[in-house]
Amino acid sequence: MSSLSDINTPVDRHKFYFQFVTTPTADTPGTTILLHFDNKRYVFGRVAEGTQRACIERGLSLKKARNIFLTGETKWEQSSGLLGMMLTMADVLSETNEEERKALGDLVIHGGPKIWHTIACARRFIFRTGMPLRVFEADPKVWKVSHQPDYIDENILLWALPVQRKTPRDSDDAKANGRSASPATIQHEQTLRQKTVHDMFDSDWRKDRLTEATFHDVKLPAMVWKRDPATKDLRATFCTKMEDAPHIHPEEKVLVRMPWPAALVTELPPADNLPSSVAMSYFVKGRPQRGVFLVSKAKELDVKPAFNFSKLASGQSVTLEDGRIIKPEDVLDVPLPGYGMAVLDVPDVHYLADLLQKLNDMQNAQVLVDVHAFIWILGPGVLHSRPFAEFRASFPSVKHVISSVDDSPNYLAMDSFAASAARLAQIRPQTFSVPKHNNTPGGREFYGSDVIQAQRALVLAVAPKFELSTKDVPKYVNIYDKIADMSRTRSLISALPSLAPSDEKYKDVTITTLGTGSALPSKYRNVSANLLHIPSLGYFIFDAGENTLGQLKRLYEPDELEDILCNLHMIWISHLHADHHLGTLALMVAHREATRKRANAGKPVSHKLYLISETNMTDYLEEYKSVEAVDAVMLRVLQSEVTDVNHQPVKLGDTTLPISKLDTVRVSHCQRAQAVTVTFSNGFKLSYSGDCRPSAAFAKIGKDSDVLIHEATFDDGMEGDAIAKKHSTIGEALGVAHAMQAKNVILTHFSQRYQKLPTLTDIRPPNRLKFEEGNDEAYRPGPIEDAALTENAVLTGDDLKQLDQAASGTARAQAVPAPPALKKQTSLQEAAEQMPICIAFDLMRVTIPQIKDMYKYYPAIESMFDYEQAKSDTRRGQHRAANEASMNARKGKTQAKIKAGEQKKKEKKQDSKSDEKKSTDQKRNKPACGTKQANSNPSAEASASPHTAKRSPSPKALLKEKGNGDKKPKLHADAT
């Protein structure tokens, strides 16, 4: 920690300001604020789901953001966007050079109790090397008010303020259940969490690094390598037991991959002995800035301009020619104080008492001096409460900027997607709809000159002076202004007949594709999530990427959403990539609240919610329970074998799940990735791929599925990208559907690089389709990003043949017969033309019979996208042209300025030479002009005499003889 003198030392003058990124809406539930400096950014507030997508929508870069100050409680609602943001920041950092990385520094997370535990729980699916992460976890038990900041860097001074709830909640907070809360125990457990987080982000582990070991000492299952004595090549063998490698003697030396360090922590101690019901707030000030440079004072002291002025203005002393030392304080005005603001988070009114007491203590310690404004982040019921009104009135000298869930309008935060959804709704309103929204702010009578309602893009300038600016605040979107005349587009809807007879058996079954993009949220597509509704049975979710709950809120009214949550039976998570599961906890928390509300109303929900996935997902949720309780039963599944968290077999008939059969297969994507086929109690059969390469085993278990939902990340022609990234092309997905004999197909998980419809006109024929199957090697300890080695097979018209796996040597034959339909050598293109195929878009709702008719609408949809793309290209072109014109204008002004400066120097140089020549002529008693007429003119000769000349001598002439003291140097001329 720097000394107090460091805090008071002024720094260079600069501007900085706070800017609101999000305020509470359905899909941006948190309030997030960005503090801007030229060299860095700082994130304050609740980094909730949707924060990243809002930044993308607004074009805000987080490249320079290295400090995240989490406000409020350490609950999922406040920090649900943190893990995804950390991954993005790590990826951005990996693209910077060493100099930039050093300048930006480490990623630093500041939060309340249990933030170490929250991050460490994610070790199974978050893994980045070379990105040091530091975490500061405030402890309310040791908090003391001090003039000394808790955090200091070159820009800011910050005081962390952990505020405790007056009465801890019994319903939400996990209890220690008798576990020791002694300082020694807590310190030991915190050290383990800190080491785990270090290994997640700053380990030097490499998946291609092999270590020598004796074969019988290797912990199995594992991949072992042995060098071939003849070829010297490494031969790999995956061993679940030593008998799998009979060619290796137990005493022989082999090469093995060292375990990923974080994977060695099989279980974290619960965080239930750490403080609960603690909400974080912060006071942040800029460092004191040097005063204005006083040119007049500098000139009085005979300081020469340019370089010396710059040194003094930047705080450096200069030495003059006569030996005098001029210090900065001799020529600078009084320093500007470190102005700042407070970011105060109040989850409910029970936090106000402790907050008021601590603010009074901080005021007495002079921390509140030069704080211009309080930025309030308020939970339900706080804004209009009497305690808050009294609290606010006790600080009349500051501005109050309020972001409250009670009064913030539910505006359309994702403008681009909302406009696209509205246009789709004009084409097919049965399938697409305008996202739910409300542009009317609440509580207008509450806000005035000293109380301001927060808005996205609202700017609060702190230095050099406090200013509030709304010039960048966008208007709330009037969605109908975004919809042009679409009569021409609608005219393109085809009148072609349906592809197949309507299947009335499951006519009311609805599939809603909540998120259809891959990897990261984008303007037009959120990440993976699918909702299945079988009216007689209930609701089921297949994958739940970040902000799945927000997508549901945009699609359903509150009462409808409550009904969905209370009738939700299952959440299936296919694998542990963040874009497929980071929305799970928000769903589970919302389900808990909805069922409690029903229970309090005397209508308890009789069935359970089941989370079904592989063991790493269930372990993650089990560990997180000590931060925040969730009401769900965790089931693990591996190749159709279902167990509980204690690895005991579970029969589906013993649960409340309306499912008669659940089949899974390992697929080639990442560790433990699985595809699933679910047969429901009413006979409806759905198959879901998750992310994967084409799988023959999946085609087998999903045979005759009523619906196949398959990823189609890449267009045909991008097979190289699909193979490298372990995804499928559109043609490969349809090949699986053809092999499965699926009755309907929904293609989803498209690359985020485009908004348009993918092409269905270039489908790979089945005799060229390559299947890749997951294997047991996928279940070794290691980071989830390390994709599993695969077993490959080529689909022919006759059977499945095993391909050579030269890279790993681990391929094992799989006796999967070719589906009968493929033996007929049917053209996949022909099959695709007759197959009911639906291209998924976010918030698309489609019943099973409607799938067969969706192809009729694609010409209109494609025309709409082309039209909007053309408009976007035109706008970009105009913007680019305007930028180029502005740059050229600036460039022209700069060049003109340089040219004028060069001309001025040239003229000055010529004047100097002319003066020097005249001075020399004067010394020789010659006419200044050197003309014949001047030589014959006595009066001209007299006027040119140096003793009577009024013209000032040139600087060079003056320098030919030094003067003494204050006397001017004498000018001498040669005798005539």
| Span 871-917, pLDDT tens digits | 777 877 877 787 778 778 877 777 777 787 777 777 777 776 676 66
The answer to whether the CB of 677 falls within 8 A of the CB of 702 is yes
**Pairing verdict, β 318-319 and 340-346:** unpaired
The answer to whether the CB of 275 falls within 8 A of the CB of 140 is yes
Question: Would you say residue 260 has pLDDT above 80?
Answer: no
Final residue in a domain of this structure, among 806, 832, 852: 852
The answer to whether the CB of 821 falls within 8 A of the CB of 741 is yes
**Taking the alpha carbons of 725, 727, 729, 732 in that order, is the dihedral positive or negative?**
positive
**Taking the alpha carbons of 152, 153, 155, 161 in that order, is the dihedral positive or negative?**
negative
DSSP 310-362: HHHHTT--EE-TTS-EE-HHHHB-PPBP--EEEEEEESSGGGHHHHHHHHHHH
User: What's this model's pTM, rounded to 2 decimal places?
Assistant: 0.83
- The model's confidence at residue 200, banded by pLDDT at 50, 70 and 90, is confident
Residue 545 lies in a domain: yes
Specify the pLDDT at position 602. 96
User: Higher confidence at residue 257 or residue 451?
Assistant: 451
Residue 43 lies in a domain: yes
Question: Would you say residue 289 has pLDDT above 70?
Answer: yes
Structure confidence by residue, pLDDT tens digits, 676-724:
999 999 999 999 999 999 999 999 999 999 999 999 999 888 888 999 9
Cα–Cα distance measured from residue 707 to residue 685, given in angstroms and rounded to the nearest whole number: 7
Assign residue 427 a region: left if phi > 0, alpha if psi is -120 to 50, beta otherwise?
alpha
- The model's confidence at residue 929, banded by pLDDT at 50, 70 and 90, is very low
Q: Name the residue with tokens 């693209």.
A: 95
- The model's confidence at residue 231, banded by pLDDT at 50, 70 and 90, is confident
Final residue in a domain of this structure, among 334, 368, 389: 334
Cα–Cα distance measured from residue 799 to residue 819, given in angstroms and rounded to the nearest whole number: 8
DSSP 240-278: SSGGG-TTS-TTSEEEEEPPPGGGG---PPPSTTS--SE
Cα–Cα distance measured from residue 254 to residue 224, given in angstroms and rounded to the nearest whole number: 6
Same domain, 567 and 446: no
Which of 4-18, 267-281, 653-667, 830-844 is least confident?
4-18
Residue 924 lies in a domain: no
3-state secondary structure of 896: helix
- Picking from 466, 336, 401, the residue whose alpha carbon sits closest to that of residue 17 is 466
User: Higher confidence at residue 966 or residue 331?
Assistant: 331
- The model's confidence at residue 603, banded by pLDDT at 50, 70 and 90, is very high
Residue 247 lies in a domain: yes
Cα–Cα distance measured from residue 483 to residue 439, given in angstroms and rounded to the nearest whole number: 17
Structure confidence by residue, pLDDT tens digits, 350-371:
999 999 999 999 999 999 999 9
Cα–Cα distance measured from residue 279 to residue 28, given in angstroms and rounded to the nearest whole number: 20
User: Higher confidence at residue 563 or residue 447?
Assistant: 563
Same domain, 673 and 691: yes
**Taking the alpha carbons of 760, 762, 768, 770 in that order, is the dihedral positive or negative?**
negative
Question: Would you say residue 290 has pLDDT above 70?
Answer: yes
Structure tokens at 364: 């007495």
Specify the pLDDT at position 903. 78
Same domain, 747 and 681: yes
Question: Would you say residue 224 has pLDDT above 50?
Answer: yes
Structure tokens at 283: 């006071």
Cα–Cα distance measured from residue 897 to residue 400, given in angstroms and rounded to the nearest whole number: 46
For 164, residues 6+ apart whose C-beta sits below 8 A from its C-beta are 140, 275, 277, 278, 279, 351, 354
Question: Would you say residue 966 has pLDDT above 60?
Answer: no
Q: In the chain, pLDDT over 90 holds for what percent of residues?
A: 52
Long-range contacts of 234-237 (CB under 8 A, 24+ apart): 235/809, 236/807, 236/808, 236/809, 236/810, 237/809, 237/810
Same domain, 690 and 701: yes
**Taking the alpha carbons of 357, 360, 365, 366 in that order, is the dihedral positive or negative?**
positive
Structure confidence by residue, pLDDT tens digits, 460-477:
999 988 999 999 999 888
Q: Can you tell me the mean pLDDT for 322-343?
A: 88
Same domain, 119 and 191: yes
Structure confidence by residue, pLDDT tens digits, 135-160:
999 999 899 998 899 999 999 999 99
- The model's confidence at residue 955, banded by pLDDT at 50, 70 and 90, is very low
Same domain, 369 and 513: no
Residue 770 lies in a domain: yes
Same domain, 246 and 108: no
Same domain, 341 and 415: yes
Cα–Cα distances in angstroms (integers) from residue 412 to residues 673, 815, 876, in the given order: 35, 52, 23
3-state secondary structure of 590: helix
DSSP 708-749: EEEE--B-TT-HHHHHHTT--BHHHHHHHHHHHT-S-EEEE-
Specify the pLDDT at position 315. 80
Same domain, 312 and 284: no
Specify the pLDDT at position 489. 85
Specify the pLDDT at position 779. 42
Specify the pLDDT at position 167. 79
Q: Can you tell me the mean pLDDT for 94-113?
A: 86
Structure confidence by residue, pLDDT tens digits, 385-442:
999 999 998 998 899 999 999 999 999 999 999 999 999 999 999 999 999 999 988 7
DSSP run (H or E) holding 926: none
Q: State the chain's maximal CA–CA distance in angstroms.
A: 129
Question: Would you say residue 57 has pLDDT above 70?
Answer: yes
Cα–Cα distance measured from residue 425 to residue 434, given in angstroms and rounded to the nearest whole number: 6
Q: Half-sphere exposure of residue 364, counting CA atoms within 13 Å on the CB side? A: 8
- The model's confidence at residue 827, banded by pLDDT at 50, 70 and 90, is low
Specify the pLDDT at position 829. 65
Cα–Cα distance measured from residue 780 to residue 259, given in angstroms and rounded to the nearest whole number: 9
Q: Can you tell me the mean pLDDT for 662-688?
A: 96
Structure confidence by residue, pLDDT tens digits, 853-872:
999 999 899 888 888 778 77
The answer to whether the CB of 809 falls within 8 A of the CB of 792 is no
Specify the pLDDT at position 799. 34
- How many Cβ atoms sit within 10 Å of the Cβ of residue 687? 27
Residue 946 lies in a domain: no
Specify the pLDDT at position 818. 33
Specify the pLDDT at position 872. 74
Question: Would you say residue 338 has pLDDT above 60?
Answer: yes
Over the Cα atoms of the chain, what is R_g?
36
Same domain, 233 and 166: no
Cα–Cα distance measured from residue 614 to residue 601, given in angstroms and rounded to the nearest whole number: 36
Structural domain that includes position 230: 210-257
CATH at 664: 3.60.15.10
Same domain, 140 and 246: no
Same domain, 845 and 702: yes
Cα–Cα distance measured from residue 616 to residue 636, given in angstroms and rounded to the nearest whole number: 9
- Picking from 271, 273, 282, 283, the residue whose alpha carbon sits closest to that of residue 115 is 271
Residues across the chain? 976
Structure tokens at 295: 């040119």
- How many Cβ atoms sit within 10 Å of the Cβ of residue 266? 7
Structure tokens at 152: 């200091």
3-state secondary structure of 440: coil
Cα–Cα distances in angstroms (integers) from residue 923 to residues 438, 552, 969, in the given order: 89, 95, 15
Specify the pLDDT at position 13. 80
Final residue in a domain of this structure, among 833, 852, 871: 852
Residue type (1 letter), 250: P
Specify the pLDDT at position 809. 30
Specify the pLDDT at position 949. 38
Question: Would you say residue 248 has pLDDT above 50?
Answer: yes
- The model's confidence at residue 956, banded by pLDDT at 50, 70 and 90, is very low
Residue 864 lies in a domain: no
User: Higher confidence at residue 782 or residue 310?
Assistant: 310
Cα–Cα distance measured from residue 618 to residue 573, given in angstroms and rounded to the nearest whole number: 10
- Picking from 236, 257, 230, 259, the residue whose alpha carbon sits closest to that of residue 248 is 236
User: Higher confidence at residue 55 or residue 825?
Assistant: 55
Question: Would you say residue 444 has pLDDT above 70?
Answer: no
Number of domains in the chain: 4
Q: Half-sphere exposure of residue 506, counting CA atoms within 13 Å on the CB side? A: 24
Residue 226 lies in a domain: yes
Beta bridge partners of 610: 570, 633
- Compute the mean pLDDT over every residue in the chain, rounded to the nearest whole number: 83
Q: Can you tell me the mean pLDDT for 274-281?
A: 95
